[in-house]
Copies of this chain bind each other. A is one copy, B any other.
Amino acid sequence: MNTTSKNNHIPRATIQRLATYMQVLEFMKKNNVEVTSSEPLASACDVNASQVRKDLAYFGEFGVRGVGYYVDYLLEAIRACLHANREWRAALIGVGNLGRALLNHQEFPRRGIRIVGAFDCDPFKIGETIYGLEIFCSKRLQEKVPKQNIELGIITTPPERVQRAADQLIEAGVKGILNFTSARIVVPSNVSVEYVDFFHQIYALTFNISTRP
């Protein structure tokens, strides 16, 4: 399985759709569907069938002409494309409500994301143990990130502190940041940032609802 064949730039939309295909394929697998094809996969994801084929073509050839795709094989192929087929170690900064919820979120370990460090700058929280994880002062990221082989940072601080948290994570050497804060951050170009803010989806809803027949 060759997942690096076409090294030309891959649209971000393609990456998002691959994640969606994964979800649908997992659902199919759970329902003992062994073979599928671009059409049902596409319609489950509300896209065009050739879109599915084109998205996959960026990475290689995973189907069988005249037959379709073996669910299990395609699932593994997509996991490999997204590099979701290995363990990723993460640090979480900001142990408030949301932070705690994420620390307890079973979907993370199920998908190979291990949150192995919890950090905060509140002296009352430092030292506390939550879900088996001791909370450290954010200043100790410097020391813990390399030691624990942490590559991802998850920020769940209040928005005022997000930039400082990001700076500390980057200084400590993480390669990617997942920002749950509503504020934007500035990072050097060798670090990736993704924003999680479901109000974007809410506004897409309110807009769509309001501008319909």
> How many monomers of this chain does the complex have?
2
List B contacts of A178 (CB < 8 A): 198, 201-202, 205
B202 touches A113 (CB 8 A): yes
B203 touches A23 (CB 8 A): no
- Using an 8 Å CB-CB cutoff, how does the interface string of A157-178 with B read, 1 for contact, 0 for none? 0010000000000000001111
List B contacts of A18 (CB < 8 A): 203
| Stretch of A66-74, A137-145, A187-195 at the chain-chain interface | A187-195
Q: Does A33 contact B (CB under 8 A)?
A: no
- Using an 8 Å CB-CB cutoff, how does the interface string of A195-213 with B read, 1 for contact, 0 for none? 1111111111111111111
Which parts of A23-50 form the interface with B (CB within 8 Å)? 23-24, 27, 44-46
A residues at B contact (CB < 8 Å): 4, 10, 12, 15-16, 18-20, 22-24, 27, 44-46, 81-84, 88, 97-98, 101, 104, 107, 111, 113, 151-152, 159, 175-178, 180, 182-184, 190, 192, 194-213
B15 touches A203 (CB 8 A): yes
Task: Give A8 Cβ to nearest chain B Cβ, in Å.
Answer: 11
Task: Give A20 Cβ to nearest chain B Cβ, in Å.
Answer: 7
> Of B46, B194, B209, which one neighbours A204 at CB under 8 angstroms?
B194
